[in-house]
Structure 1
Amino acid sequence: MKLIVGLGNPGKEYEKTRHNAGFCVMDELAKLCHTSIEQKKFNALIGTTQISGEQVMLMKPQTYMNSSGEAVIQAVNFYKIDPKDILVIHDDLDIPVGKLRIRTQGSSGGQKGMQSIMNHLHTQEISRIRVGIDKNPLIPIVDYVLGKVAKEDLKNYEDSVKRAADAAYMSITHSIEEVMNRYNKNE
């Protein structure tokens, strides 16, 4: 089984905020997979599907960003999912709006949801798609990530969300290295 996790915060007040890029990508991915992410399980909203013979779980943790690992570890333990079969999608302040970066391992880069997952799984070897949200030195980070995407950035942001969903979908049937070669090369 493959597990694809989009990070964000639950609740209407967080919808469409920069920090919910992972949730936005998951909504697009659910459309590509012809499924929904509505079942409540593992302190998360999940959806399951089968693609090319591969069982896939889509997850939106409902634990709030900084505790995302609590939801992920429950699914991993229940289904005995290997960390190599997990893909996490999250926002990244160090990448310009409209850009993606895909990695197979490394530090959390300060992204607390990713750090929570790494802490619970005891590994940095977790593939991830980072969706650029940029940063503004004039706005405190917490206020910035919990703010809405600026109108002038909206088209680039929405395009990157769609590309991230396409990359996540490709990861179901292709190696993460192939996904990286395709989606990192033009970034």
Structure 2
Amino acid sequence: MKLIVGLGNPGKEYEHTRHNAGFDAIDELAKLCHTSIDQKKFNALIAQVRVGNEQVILMKPLTYMNASGEAVIQAVNFYKIETKDILIIHDDLDLPVGKLRIRTQGSSGGQKGMQSIMNHLHSQEIQRIRVGIDKNPLIPIVDYVLGKIPKESKADYQDSLIKAAEAAYMSISHDFSEVMNRYNKS
């Protein structure tokens, strides 16, 4: 069984903000899986799907970004999911809009949702897809991440969400090194 988690904040006021790139990307993944993420369980919205021979849980934690690990650890413990079978999709201030970076491990890079998950799983060896949202030194980080993507960047941003979803989908049935080789080039 695999667990794919998109990070974000619940609620209308946070919809489609930069910090909800993980939620938006996992919604794109749900479309590829012909499902919707609408079942409430583990303090999250989830969907259970089968892709080929693999059972997959898609998750959007409802704990707010900084406590994402609370929802993830509940699913991990319930289904006995191994860390190697977890994939997290989240926003990244250090990447330009439209860029993805896919890694098998590393620090949280200051992303508090990812840090919460690493704290709860006691590991930095967690696969992740980082979706670039850029940054603006003139805007405080909290205000920036909770803002919307400007219209001149929307096409690149939407393209990165679709690529993140495609990479996540590919990770279900392919070795993660193949996913990295394919999507870290773009």
Query: TM-score, with normalisation over the residues of structure 1?
Result: 0.99
- The equivalent of 2:125 in structure 1 is 125
The residue number in structure 2 matching 1:13 is: 13
- Kindly provide the CA deviation profile for residues 52-73 of structure 1, in whole angstroms up to 9, marking residues without a partner as x: 1100000000000000000000
Aligned residues: 186
The amino acid across from 1:77 in the alignment is N
Partner of 1:55: 55
Two-structure CA RMSD over aligned residues (Å):
0.4
Amino acid across the alignment from 1:49: V
Q: Distance in 1 between matches of 2:14 and 2:76?
A: 26
1:139 and 2:142 equivalent? no
Is 1:179 aligned with 2:179?
A: yes
Q: Which amino acid aligns with 1:143?
A: D
Letter in 1 for 2:115: Q
Q: Counterparts of 2:176 and 2:135 in 1: how far apart (Å)?
A: 27
Q: Give the whole-Å Cα distance in 1 for the aligned partners of 2:185 and 2:174.
A: 16
Equivalent residue for 1:110? Answer: 110
Structure 2 residue runs of 5 or longer lacking an equivalent are none
SS in structure 1 of the partner of residue 56 of structure 2: strand
Q: Hey, what does 1:37 align to over in structure 2?
A: 37
Shift in Å, 1:175? 1.0
Q: Which residue number corresponds to residue 161 of structure 2?
A: 161
- Distance (whole Å) between structure 1 residues aligned to residue 95 and residue 175 of structure 2: 23
CA deviations on 1:14-40 (whole Å, 9 max, x unpaired) are 001000000000110000001110000
Map 1:28-107; keep pairs closer than 5 Å: 28-107=28-107
**Deviation (angstroms), 1:185:** 1.7
- In the aligned structure 2, how far is the partner of 1:15 from the partner of 1:41? 20
Amino acid at match of 1:62: L
In the other structure, the counterpart of 1:151 is 151
Residue 26 of structure 1 is matched in structure 2 by 26
Q: Percent identity?
A: 80
Q: Distance in 1 between matches of 2:131 and 2:185?
A: 15
Write the letter of the residue equivalent to 1:119.
Answer: N
Q: Any gaps of 5 or more consecutive residues in structure 1?
A: none
3-state SS, counterpart of residue 3 of structure 1? strand
CA distance in 2, matches of 1:80, 1:179: 24
TM-score, normalising length from structure 2? Answer: 0.99
- Deviant stretches of 4+, over 4 Å: none
| Secondary structure of the corresponding residue to residue 23 of structure 2 | helix
